């Protein structure tokens, strides 16, 4: 459903991503992992139509993305900045539904259903600043879910919450998205998370980012935080992905020059 063809973007002279080719199938959960500064956010913004890539194309259901597509939602890492503090949780979740031409009543009902789905039905009237970080990120996940996108983009969605909340949210997203048959592209720097959440893990090199590995995660579902992580297959995959990420960011200094050292 999503196809990236030679996707390239430069900010002035800075070359952020370089000829990324990637195909994501309907219903797949694909994790993109890479060292910091590998252009992950640039990649996400290009797919969402928030920036116009300088080269290549993004195809969604076969059509090139020129402005923000209708059937796409984004969950950003920084929930405190992406939720609107002057709106209650319910109003935050309901706001994007205006695009769907829904009545006020229908929007409130859909928002309430999504909040209930993420376990925040009782907190619908609260404001973001009355909530913990984990709750706020649940609200932004609910906002994306209520919109019923066919593609959900997530930019380090669990990067700013504590470890327990992170595990909870990972399972929540997997459960809810499987239930609605959503396709997910999740961007993370966390190798462990990418293997746990993904059906596939795509590894990017450091800038200019390009695809250096594309692994199928063949682990039994539904995933379980303890049992999945102790499987031999999980441990091996995590090591493989880790080596790829590490390999591309290792440096060797030679005559003051920096060279990429590939271990694969």
- Binding residues for another protein (CB under 8 A): 48, 50, 67-70, 72-74, 76, 78, 81-82, 84-86, 95-96, 98-99, 127, 129-133, 147, 153
3-class secondary-structure state, position 213: strand
Of 32 and 48, which has the nearer Cβ to another protein?
48
Of 34 and 69, which has the nearer Cβ to another protein?
69
Q: How far is the CB of 82 from another protein (least distance, A)?
A: 4
Q: How far is the CB of 168 from another protein (least distance, A)?
A: 19
User: Distance of CA 180 to CAs 99, 124, 184, 223, 263, Å?
Assistant: 20, 22, 11, 17, 39
Q: How far is the CB of 56 from another protein (least distance, A)?
A: 20
Of 41 and 188, which has the nearer Cβ to another protein?
41
Q: How far is the CB of 229 from another protein (least distance, A)?
A: 31
Give the 3-state secondary structure of 62-79.
CEECCCCCCCEEEECCCH
Of 145 and 244, which has the nearer Cβ to another protein?
145
Give the 3-state secondary structure of 19-53.
EEEEEECCCCEEEEECCCCCCHHHHHHHHCCCCCC
Give the DSSP H or E segment for 228.
Answer: helix 227-230
């Amino acid at each position: 459903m999503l196809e990236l063809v030679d996707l390239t973007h430069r900010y002035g002279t800075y070359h952020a991503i370089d000829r990324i080719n990637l195909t994501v199938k309907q219903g797949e959960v694909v994790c993109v992992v890479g060292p910091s500064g590998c252009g992950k956010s640039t990649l996400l913004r290009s797919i969402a139509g928030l920036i116009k890539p300088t080269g290549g194309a993004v195809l969604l259901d076969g059509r090139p993305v020129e402005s923000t597509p209708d059937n796409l939602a984004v969950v950003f890492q920084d929930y405190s900045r992406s939720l609107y503090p002057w709106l209650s949780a319910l109003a935050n979740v309901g706001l994007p539904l205006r695009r769907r031409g829904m009545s006020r009543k229908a929007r409130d009902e859909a928002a309430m259903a999504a909040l209930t789905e993420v376990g925040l039905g009782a907190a619908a009237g609260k404001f973001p600043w009355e909530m913990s970080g984990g709750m706020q990120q649940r609200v932004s996940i609910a906002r994306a879910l209520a919109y019923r996108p066919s593609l959900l983009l997530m930019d380090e969605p669990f990067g700013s919450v504590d470890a327990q909340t992170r595990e909870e949210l990972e399972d929540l997203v997997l459960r809810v998205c499987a239930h609605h048959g959503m396709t997910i592209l999740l961007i993370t720097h966390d190798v462990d998370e990418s293997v746990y959440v993904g059906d596939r893990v795509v590894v990017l090199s450091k800038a200019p980012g390009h695809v250096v590995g594309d692994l199928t995660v063949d682990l039994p579902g539904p995933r379980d935080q303890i049992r999945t992580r102790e499987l031999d297959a999980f441990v091996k995959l995590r090591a493989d992905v880790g080596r790829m990420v590490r390999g591309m960011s290792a440096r060797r200094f030679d005559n003051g020059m920096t060279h990429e050292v590939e271990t694969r």
